[in-house]
Amino acid sequence: MLQTSNYSLVLSLQFLLLSYDLFVNSFSELLRMAPVIQLVLFIIQDIAILFNIIIIFLMFFNTFVFQAGLVNLLFHKFKGTIILTAVYLGLSISFHVWVMNLRWKNSNSFVWTDGLQTLFVFQRLAAVLYCYFYKRTAVRLGDPRFYQDSLWLRKEFMQVRR
Amino acid sequence: MRADSGPRLEEGPSRPPRTLPPVPSQDDIPLNRPKKKKPRTKNTLASASLEGLAQTAVHRPSEGSEPPTEELEEHLEAPVQKRQKKTRLPLELETSFTQKKTSSPSLLRNENGIDVEPAEEAVIQKPRRKTKKTKPAELQYANELGIEDEDIITDEQTTPEQQSIFTAPTGISHPVGKVFVEKSRRFQAADRSELIKTTENIDVSMDMKPSWTTRDVALSVHRAFRMIGLFSHGFLAGCALWNIVVIYVLAGDQLSDLSNLLQQYKTLAYPFQSLLYLLLALSTISAFDRIDFAKTSVAIRNFFALDPTALASFLYFTALILSLSQQMTSDRIHLYTPSSVNGSLWAAGIEEQILPPWIVVNLVVALLVGLSWLFLSYRPGMDLSEELMFSSDVEEYPDKDKAIKASS
C-alpha cells in the first residue's frame, strides 16, 4: 500500500520537475546572455523529463495492478501519457540540439528559419500536452484502487480483455 | 529427541530392576530434561529406575550440597520411594493449586520425585488457556506490557520436606518497572509505563491515518492547481488586453507610426511573449482539466454540444498555437535596430510587411483569450476531471458498505 507521506514526496518532486520544465520553456529565450546558460538549462530540462519518465514508471511498478501482472491494463490506461512523454523528450532534445548548434557562436543572433519555427511550435505544444497528461497521471496514481484488489480492478480487467 | 526417548521410557517398567540404565553422565543431562515435561509418562512411571534416573539428572547441578551416596541409596531403595510418593501426593496437589503460575519447568525439576504433579498442572492450566483464547485479541495486545498478578509470587509456600530435597529456591519476585526493548541489536532498558504510553500513541496515530489518504493528497493538489488555473485565466485575459492596447497606442492612428512602435516595444516584446506562453500553457492545462481532455470522446461530445468550457479550452489551444507562431517575429522585434545601422534585420520598408499581420494575430489572441475567460466564468465550478477521476469511488463505496453490513 502506498504511504501518504511517500506519495506526497513523489508528487511534489514530479511537480517541481514539471514546473522547471514550464519555466525553461517560457523563459529560456530571455536567458541567453551567454550560450552556456542556455546549454545548462536545456541539459537540466532534458534530464528532468527523463527523471519524470523514470518516476512515473517506478510508480507504475509500485501499483497492485502491475504487480498482479496486468501490465496491459496499465498501458491501456496511460498510453497517452507514455507516448506523449516519449515524443516530447524526442522533440525537446532535437530542438535543443538545433538551437544550440545555431546559437553557439553568437547567442544574440537571429537564427530562425521556417523549419526551426515549426519544430519550436510542435515542441512547445507537446510541452503543454505533456504537462497536462503527466499531471493527470501522477494525480490518478494516488488513487488507492491501484494498490489493492477490488471489484473496480476486476471490471477494468474484463473491459480490457474484451 | 523425544522420538527416541519415548520408547526408552515406556520400556522401563517391563524391565527388571537389575537392568537399570547406568547413572547418566554429564552428557546425558540435557537429553533427559525434556522428558519430564511429558505428562503422559508421569502417571504410568512407577518404576524406581526411571525416577532415580530423572532425579539424578535434576540433582546434578546441586550435587555439591548432597553426598553422592544418597543417590545410590535411592537407586537401591526403589520400593521405599514408591511409598514415599503415595504419601506426598496430596501435598503436591495442594501446592500446585496454590501456586498456579509458578514457573513450571523449575517446579518440575525441583519436584521431580513426585511424578504426578505436572499432570495435575496440565489439568489446571487447560481452562485458563481457554479463557485466554476467548478474550478479544486487542485486549490481549493491550495487556501485553502490563503485569499479571499471577506472575508475581509473593508467598513462599514450600514445605520443609520440599526444602530438604529441592535445593533450588523459589524466591519472592517483584514487578520490575523496566522492560528490555531491542533497539539496534541491543536490549535497552525502557520504562514500562512510558512504553505503554508510546504504544497507545501509535494506536491513536494508526486510527488517525485513514483520514488523510493518498487520494486526498491527489484531490487537494488537483484543487490547488485549479485555483492557480483560475488565477491565470483572469491574469492572461488582462495581460492580453493590456498588450493590445499598448500596441495600438504606440502604433498611432491607422498604424502610421510603426517605427515608434518598434523602438518603444522592442524591450517589451520578448518578455511579454514568454509571459504569454507561460500563462497560456497554465490556462490551457487548466481548461483541459475542466473538460477532462484525456477522455477524448467526452471532450469532443461536449465541444459539439457547444459546452462553454469545452469551447474555452479549444479557444485557448488555438490562441496558444497562434501565439507560438509569432515567436520568430517577436525575436525580430526584440533584435530591432534602425535600418541605417549595419547588419540590421529591419531593412527599409519591411516594417509595413511584417508588423500588420503580427498586430492582427495579437489582437486575435487577445480576443480568444478574453472569450475563453468569459466562457469559463459562465460555469466556474465545472470540473469534469474531478468528477470522472474520483467518481467511481462513490459508486464503489455503497457496495462496500453493503458488504460490511451483510457481514455484520
What gap in Å lies between CA B317 and CA B283, rounded to an integer? 9
Residues in A 1-40 with any Cβ partner in B closer than 8 A:
2-4, 7-8, 11, 15, 22-23, 25-27, 29-30
Using the Cβ of A120 and the Cβ atoms of chain B, whether some distance falls under 8 Å is answered with yes
A152–B392 CB contact, under 8 Å: yes
A104 or B119, higher pLDDT: A104
- CA–CA separation, B200 and A159 (whole Å): 45
Spatial separation of the C-alpha atoms in residues B9 and A155, rounded to whole Å: 64
* Mean pLDDT of the region A139-146: 87
Q: How far apart are CA B289 and CA B232, in angstroms?
A: 14
| Residue contact B328–A117, C-beta within 8 A | yes
Among B213, B218, B271, beta carbon nearest to A30:
B271
CB contact under 8 A, B275 and A139: no
Burial degree of B170 (CB within 10 A; 0-12, 13-18, 19+): middle
Q: What is the pTM of this model?
A: 0.62
| A124 has a chain B CB within 8 A of its CB | yes
- Element (H or E) spanning B344, and its range? none
How far is it, in rounded angstroms, from Cα B265 to Cα B260? 8
Cβ within 8 Å of residue B80, ≥6 positions away: none
Residue-wise pLDDT for A57-85, tens only, equals 999 999 988 888 888 888 888 999 999 99
Q: pLDDT (tens digit, 9 = 90+) per residue, B73-104?
A: 445 454 445 445 444 444 444 444 444 444 44
Return d(Cα A1, Cα B16) in angstroms, integer. Answer: 68
* Chain B residues touching residue A136 (CB < 8 angstroms): 289, 294, 385, 389
Closest residue of B to A3, CA-based? Answer: B214
Q: List, in sequence order, every residue forming a beta bridge with B190; answer none if it has no partner.
A: B179
Say yes or no: B147 contacts chain A, CB-CB below 8 A: no
Cβ distance of A139 and B221 shorter than 8 Å: yes
CA distance A44 to chain B (A): 19
pLDDT per residue as tens digits for the range B331-342: 999 998 888 887
Rounded mean pLDDT of A11-39? 94
From the list A7, A108, A120, the residue facing B217 with the nearest CB is A7
Mark yes or no for CB contact B218/A139 under 8 Å: yes
Residues in chain B where the model's pLDDT stays below 50: 1-16, 19-20, 24-74, 76, 78-80, 82-83, 85-139, 142, 393-408
CB-CB under 8 Å, B325 with A117: yes
Shortest Cα distance, chain B CAs vs residue A63, angstroms: 13
Residue recorded with cell 517398567: B13
Q: Nearest Cβ partner of B217 from A4, A131, A140? A: A4
- The chain A residue lying nearest B396, using CA atoms, is A152
CB atoms within 10 A of CB B83: 10
Q: Which pLDDT belongs to residue B173?
A: 63
Q: Which residues in chain B are closer than 8 Å to A8, comparing Cβ atoms? A: 217
* Substitution target from B205, B209, B211, B214 for chain A, most A beta carbons within 10 A: B214
Chain B nearest C-alpha distance from A143 (Å): 5
CB-based contact, B277 to chain A, within 8 Å: yes
The rounded percent of chain A whose pLDDT value lies above 90 is 66
**For the CA atoms of chain B, what is the radius of gyration?**
47
Contact B270 A30 (CB under 8 A): yes
Q: pLDDT: is A87 or B185 the higher one?
A: A87
> Is B225 in CB contact (< 8 Å) with chain A?
yes
| pLDDT number for residue B337 | 87
CA distance B173 to B360: 96
Residues of A in contact with B284 (CB under 8 A): 128, 132
Cell of B157: 509456600
* Interface contact flag, A112 B327, Cβ < 8 Å: yes
Confidence class for position A145, pLDDT limits 50, 70, 90: confident
Question: Binning pLDDT at 50, 70 and 90, where does residue A156 land?
Answer: confident
Are B212 and A4 in contact (CB < 8 Å)?
Answer: yes
Using the beta-carbon criterion (under 8 Å), do B209 and A4 form an inter-chain contact?
Answer: yes
Query: In Å, what is the CA distance from B251 to each residue of B203, B323, B356, B361, B367?
Result: 71, 20, 10, 15, 19
**In this complex, is the C-beta atom of A118 within 8 Å of any C-beta atom belonging to chain B?**
no
Cell numbers at residue A151, please? 471489484
Smallest Cβ–Cβ distance between A25 and the set B277, B285, B392 belongs to B277
Contact flag A128-B271 (C-beta cutoff 8 Å): no
Buried b (16+ CB within 10 A) or exposed e, B241-260: eebbeebeebbeeeeeebee
As a whole number of angstroms, the distance between CA B52 and CA B23 comes to: 9
pLDDT at residue B240, rounded to an integer: 95
